[in-house]
Structures are given as structure tokens and as C-alpha cells.
Amino acid sequence: MTDKYAVIGNPIDFSKSPFIHGEFARSLGHDIAYTKILGPIGGFKEAVDALRAAGGRGINITAPFKLDAFAYADERSPSAELAGAVNCLKLDGPRIVGENFDGVGLVRDTVHNLGQPLAGRRVLLLGAGGAARGALLPFLAEGPAELVIANRSDGKAQELAAIALRHAPAGTSVRASGYGALEGQRFDVVFNATSASLRGELPPVPASVFSGCALAYELAYAKGMTPFLRLAVNAGVTRCADGVGMLAEQAAEAFAWWRGVRPRTEAVIESLRVPLE
């Protein structure tokens, strides 16, 4: 029997999830059907209930429904609780379980695919929204020497840093910063988790943060050379990446959670990669 999965969002035409999960299933010989659901605003519960009634076993969630999915779940993982958002639901048990694999996917792409360790490194995380929250636990599990969270709103950065401090391992320094206070500071890895690149804008980060930087990572994907990445290149960074690897790796985590086996991601990442030009 063909197992049913889906992704829900609004809009949803852009989603690469059916292609990604279809390729994973093909490579492993799994029989699944994975579809897109255009969720009506205010109608998330009804749409997921319909999938469950039709025998659906799992669903990925994209904007604007990650908070709806958080509320829908009976149980949530620590990463989902910390992020305050759910991007994946398991539907085939007695209770609905919510997960957030964004941060796990980001760290796996950074450390495994790109070969950039975070252990003992100075890490700058731009943004304090859901994407940044989802990255906290996976970042801290790597044991960076320092994690600095910068945001336009000092209050949000301080709030997120306070949460991170409660989970930080011994030897990891965590602090919040405004963008202006970053002038003259240097980092080994800089992640842009703001929404600025989705609007073609540049977060107000000083170029000095890229001095000696080994990797500039843009969480947005398929946007080419974003203003953030352009600033990094102009500041001398020789290695840049966008979020296509994160997209594939979080999908692989979801597939493994649902199906019990983790697919390889190299071919999918290569097929979705957009040149950074």
C-alpha cells in the first residue's frame, strides 16, 4: 500500500518538498505518495484532519502554518518547544507528534556537507525569529567557543540569549548584541537567519565581522548572491553557502523520522543548487 505524506503552506507552488521526498523514496525503493496542500488561512486543522482521515502518515509545514502546527501537536520535541514552531508532524500514531528539523538540517549541512566545524569556533547568528530559535539547540550541541545573537531589537536578542544560556555546554559563551555593537568584532562562521534576503535587503551588519571568516551562510535558498553574501564576499570571505543544503537535510531528517531510514542527500542538493552569482 502506498503511504501518504504531504507539505502544507500558503502559497505552496514554490515548494520543493514533493521533489525531494520523491527522490528520497525512489533512491530507497519506498512506495510513497507526497503531495502539496494549499492550506486555507484559518483552516490548517481541517486540512490536516482531512489528510489524517485519508490515511496520511506525516506532513511537512511551511509558512504561515508553523505556529498552527505547534498548537495542533499533542506532543512536541525540545527543539520544537524552543523554536515555538513545528515544521513536521507524525500523524500515524495515537498522538500527533511535532518536530522542528530546521536547526538540525542547518548544522548537518554546515558540519557534514560543507566540512565547517562549529566546535570551538566563534559563531555569529543574525536574527532572533523562528529560524534562529530553531537553530539554538543544534548549534549549542556542537560546542562553539562563542555564540553571539544579533538582532535589530536588542530585547529579542537578549531574550534568545537568555534561553541559549540555559542550554549552553561548559566552555561556550553566549551573549546578545545589537548590530552596531558588532563593529570591530570577528567571527569564524556567520549565519544570516533574518528575513532580509527574502526582500532583497541587507541586515545592518558591519563588514568587520567577516574578517578572517571561514564561512558565510545564508539560510534563504535559491536567491543567488544575496546582499548578505555579497557583503561577505566583498569583505574577503572565500566560502559562502545558501540554505539549499539545509532544506535537503531537514527533509532527510523528516524522512528518517517517518520511515526509519535516512536517505543520502548529495544528489538532491546538487539538483537544487543555484549558482551564487
User: CA of 161: how far to CAs of 19, 157, 168, 210, 247, in Å?
Assistant: 36, 6, 10, 21, 25
What whole-number distance in Å separates Cα of residue 217 and Cα of residue 115?
Answer: 13
Indicate if 66 belongs to the active site: yes
Q: Among 4, 16, 45, 66, which one carries the catalytic annotation?
A: 66
At 163, give phi and psi (nearest 5°). Answer: -65, -45
Classify strands 88-90 and 56-61 as parallel, antiparallel or unpaired. Answer: antiparallel
Q: Sign of the CA dihedral 172, 174, 179, 180?
A: negative
| Element spanning 123, H or E | strand 122-126
What whole-number distance in Å separates Cα of residue 237 and Cα of residue 9?
Answer: 35
3-state DSSP helix/strand/coil percent for the chain, to nearest 5? 40, 20, 40
**Catalytic positions:** 66
